């Protein structure tokens, strides 16, 4: 997974001004300096763009728990924005696995600016195990 630090294997992450910075068993972090393409005409980072990165940091946190051959996918996400973010803000993201079962995992992620919560997301993810040979 170290090779995915930075853009997480998705060039879009870098184009948005973000980079995955660290991960461990069930958590991942990222830094984000939103570029102007992330913003609506009023200069605020669009919630859908925030959602892309919140989903990515949760996915990366879950990937850190997978066994060889396992895969995962987002089933659903809820995003609550509490404060605006703007292009150039120094933002941090953290995704955390709350509970991981054999087939379903529950995660949360926070987007923060200066230690203050900007956006909170929760997600439900499917875990796919390798199919038995034969």
pLDDT in tens, 19-60: 999 999 999 999 999 999 999 999 999 999 999 999 999 999
Q: What is the mean pLDDT of the chain?
A: 92
How are beta strands 104-113 and 116-128 bridged, if at all?
antiparallel
For the segment 83-108, the average pLDDT, to the nearest whole number, is 96
**How many independent structural domains does the chain possess?**
1
In a domain, 60, yes or no: yes
Interatomic CA distance for residues 47 and 40, integer angstroms: 9
Q: Is residue 64 part of a domain?
A: yes
pLDDT of residue 131: 76
Does a structural domain hold residue 133? Answer: no
Give pLDDT, residue 94. 98
Assess if residue 119 is contained within a domain. yes
For position 7, which CATH number holds?
A: 3.10.129.10
Q: The domain containing residue 61 runs over which residues?
A: 2-128
* Residue 72 within any structural domain of the chain: yes
Interatomic CA distance for residues 81 and 59, integer angstroms = 19
Most confident of 10-24, 94-108, 120-134: 94-108
Residue 98 has pLDDT above 90, yes or no: yes
37 belongs to a structural domain: yes
Q: Does the structure show a pLDDT above 90 at 107?
A: yes
Residue 128 pLDDT > 80, yes or no? yes
List the helix and strand counts (H, then E) for the chain: 2, 6
Q: Is residue 134 part of a domain?
A: no
């Amino acid at each position: 997974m170290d090779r995915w630090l930075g853009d997480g294997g998705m060039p879009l992450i870098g184009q948005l001004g973000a980079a995955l910075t660290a991960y461990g068993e069930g958590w991942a972090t990222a830094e984000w300096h939103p570029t102007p393409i992330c913003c609506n005409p009023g200069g605020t980072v669009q919630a859908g763009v925030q959602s892309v990165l919140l989903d990515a940091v949760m996915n990366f946190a879950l990937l850190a728990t997978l066994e060889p051959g396992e895969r995962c996918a987002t089933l659903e996400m809820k995003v609550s924005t509490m404060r605006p973010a703007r292009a150039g803000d120094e933002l941090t993201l953290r995704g955390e696995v709350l509970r991981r079962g054999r087939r379903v995992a529950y995660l949360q992620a926070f987007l923060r600016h200066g230690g203050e919560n900007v956006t909170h997301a929760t997600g439900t993810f499917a875990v796919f195990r390798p199919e038995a040979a034969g």
